[in-house]
A and B are shown apart, each in its own frame.
Chain A
Amino acid sequence: MSIIYLLLTISVIVALVFFIAFIISVKKGQYDDTYTPSIRMLFEDELIKGGDATTTEGRTDQPTTKKEQLS
């Protein structure tokens, strides 16, 4: 049963990884505005100009990351 030492260690490490991810996300400002992303994700994707209405082009996430780099 000494395997329990290994199991405990692994589970604690996994938990810590998620905890660190949480800290990083708060630092990056993801919790500053919790309302606007909920509206933003409901916007429709852009349509390719001239194409039929069924084809869509996904909106890129560049704006957010670019902002992160510069600020």
Chain B
Amino acid sequence: METCFHCGDNCNNDTIIHQDKFFCCNGCKTVFTLLYENDLSYYYDLALTPGITPETIEGKFDFLKNETIVAKLLDFDEQGTQIVTLLIPAIHCSSCIWVLENLNKLNPSIKTSQVSFPKKTVHITFNSADLSLNSLVSLLCRLGYEPSISLEDYSTTKKTIDKSLIYKLGVAGFAFGNIMFLSFPEYFESNEFWLEQYKHVFRWLMFSFAVPAVFYSASDYFTSAIKGLRSKVLTIDVPIAIGISVLFLRSFIEIAFDLGSGFLDSLAGLIFFLLLGKLFQQKTYSFLSFERDYKSYFPIAVTRIKKASRTTPSPLINEEQVQIHEIKKGDRILIRNRELIPTDGILVSGSALIDYSFVTGEAKPVSKSPGDKLYAGGKQQAATIEIEVLKSVEQSYLTQLWNNDVFKKSSQSTFQSLTDAISKRFTIGILTIAFVACLFWLAYDSSKALNVLTAVLIVACPCAIALAAPFTLGNLLRVFGINQFYVKDAKIIEKMAHINTVVFDKTGTLTSNSQNVVTYEGIELTNDEKVLLISTIRASNHPLSRALYDILKKNDIKTLDGFQEDLGQGIVGTINNQQIKVGSYSFVETGTQKLSSPTFSEKVNRTTVHISANNKYKGCYVFYNEYREGVKEVFDQLSKNKQIVILSGDNDGEEATLKKLLPNDSTLLFDQKPEDKLNYIKELQRQGQNVMMIGDGLNDSGALAQSNVGIVISENVNVFSPACDGILAANQFKNLMALLTLSKQGIRIIKYAFVFSIFYNIIGLGFAITGNLEPIVAAILMPLSSISIVVFTTMCTFIAGRKLTNKTKFER
């Protein structure tokens, strides 16, 4: 079996050989030729089989001919030069970067192009007089790098990247380094004459470095602490803010009144490490979006039929590309194969075979005849149809889903992270110790009282506590990312550790859309009949025909003498007076001699394709849902200490199969509408359960938002997925239990880190309470505790994560 030189797929029967290399299809060979002829074959040197098979549907980017739409998509348009930023989900390797940055070799009107790999975008500057955006996009499609342009890219204003954390970290680092440097003389305690002369200069210089560090870099902590105190919540920011302000004030007083050199080095170091922890925790996946709603699923424009006006009396239909916001009631729009229906409407002409699986969860496409109502969000599977619009896009059934309260509610702020829980006790404990010690010293030797009070508040390093969670969770985010589980933020990991009920969607989540299992029931077909069958179904565009064609062996394909398609019912093919009928039972059965009573039952909901040859009924092919690899193992592992629930929008045809896979006390519910799913989860939560929802379609979005943790399973993480807390690649589904276990281990590591930090605090408090806290002691203790916590958590997460990565590597 040869693999394609371009894309790496297996070349089946239709291998194409060109220049001593194998290609799986004409598309791959075309890209190769295009690159080779333009001296771009370095593309194949950078990575192994880097190519992507080009697969574009004719007319998909026609809306780019519309000037208003183009104007909104461009970043810059002036004096014959245009700049556009396109999202290309197919970017995945260094070859992609290379070829996209060398586009100017393919078309000299392209001036420059720059790729941002984390965001999977390419920023192209081109000469608009010679090259239109439409042609640019078709060039990209021909290479296999089809851009993804959706309604969401169109309507959002340019988001400015938040760089403030980097600036703050820069200021803090700058201050830290310089203050450490300047405080060196003071460490070496000696009554050096020159030291005494110049110490004020050094001290005030250190102070001037510390001022921006405190008032700019640490400002977040102060605002957050004040907010927390106002709402009577003691977050970790409160002891941090106290610590910083006490440090600053005491140092100021010591320097001003020449009582000492202050603790400015510890202060700057503290701020620097805290901000470093914040940055570390901020790992984001810019090429993914966890906030998607229906807008990123919808196209920007549709083809509308222009009503014949008085000035164009000709009967030719005029089509125009319009933005979907402009569609009004009564408009006629054209929907092509595999295009999305943007709004509710009535089918006017054409044969509609609509796949609503993403919206309702129903796996089987429904066929509709003219006069039937069609809903927004479905994908057309047959040829072009014409629809009369009933509602504008915002008012259709689909968008009503987003008006549910669950989307308006701000993210559950009731969840108290582990750090906040500990910090409450920590703050109270420290304040108590500080005041008790102060009172003790007031009675004993009052000169030391203030010293001790501030020393306790300074040394009780909340930074160890503040750093444990960010570094652990930040590392876990990375480990998850390597295992193709992309989590929105670190809090989700903590939530995952508390899950006790897991709810699954069926279609697309437990079942795989890419494969079908087919069995044949009935009388065996002869070879001639098989050839006739394959040739016939090859001519049909019905998804079941296509699926069947992919599965059956294609030996000889003969040209048909006659072919007829009765849409939604079946197809008839003839060769040499041999006739075969393929389709639904009623279609196939009419006019056949009944050989024997049917051996199947239509009462059970199954997807079937029946065959009759020369008016004799033969049998049927039954399609089974292909369950994902490892589903049984996942259920077994989860059932040990978690409840499992299946909520499906599909009918109960699969109930028996699922019952075999699941443990006995699981709940299975079918025909669930999106609101049903949402309400069921609400009910579970009311009973006190922590629910994790795993789904994949728009019909799950309400449930995903309502659940404590909402995960989307995706065959291709670059393609749309509804708003969720995390995205799991479909081939990693079998590791679900391992991921949950890992998050539990993460919490345990954080707890160990807290214990570790208490150890440091005890030593520090020892110095503080006895009044012996020298600046140098503080300067050593605080960075030491921070660094050791970081090292400890990193090592632990590395070891814990390695078990998971090895497991997946081994199985790959």
Residues on A lying within 8 angstroms of B by beta carbon are 1, 4-5, 8, 12, 15, 19, 22-23, 26-27, 31-33, 35-36, 39-40, 42-44, 49, 62-64, 66-67, 70-71
Contact = CB atoms under 8 A, between A and B. Distances in A.
Contacts of A67: 112, 114, 123, 125
Nearest to A29: B161
Given A39-B117, A63-B101, A5 B125 contact: no
Nearest to B193: A1
B115 interface: yes
Contacts of A70: 76, 81, 83, 125
B222 interface: no
A31 B98 CA distance: 21
A36 B117 contact: yes
Contacts of B113: 63
B112 A62 contact: yes
B201 A8 contact: yes
B42 interface: yes
A44 B97 contact: no
A1 B166 contact: no
Contacts of B42: 44
B119 interface: yes
A51 B113 CA distance: 27
Interface string B186-216: 0000000010011001000100000000000
B116 interface: yes
B94 A39 contact: yes
B691 to A, nearest CB: 36
B616 interface: no
Contacts of B118: 33, 35-36
Contacts of B201: 4-5, 8
Closest 6 CB pairs of A and B: A63-B112, A36-B117, A33-B116, A39-B94, A19-B174, A35-B118
A49 B105 CA distance: 13
A71 B83 contact: yes
B117 A71 contact: no
Contacts of B112: 62-63, 66-67
Contacts of A66: 111-112, 125
Nearest to B161: A32
Contacts of B97: 36, 39-40
B462 to A, nearest CB: 28
A32 B116 CA distance: 9
B123 A4 contact: no
Contact of B115 (A32, A36, A44): A36
A4 B119 CA distance: 50
A19 B117 CA distance: 28
B174 A71 contact: no
Given A26-B163, A33-B118, A42 B94 contact: yes
A12 B204 CA distance: 13
A67 B46 CA distance: 25
B707 to A, nearest CB: 32
Interface string B738-759: 0000000000000000000000
B586 to A, nearest CB: 58
A53 to B, nearest CB: 13
Contacts of B94: 39, 42-43
A39 B46 CA distance: 11
B636 to A, nearest CB: 39
A41 B166 CA distance: 24
B562 to A, nearest CB: 56
A34 B119 CA distance: 11
A36 B116 contact: yes
Q: Which of A8, A15, A67 has the most CB of B within 10 A?
A: A67
A44 B111 CA distance: 20
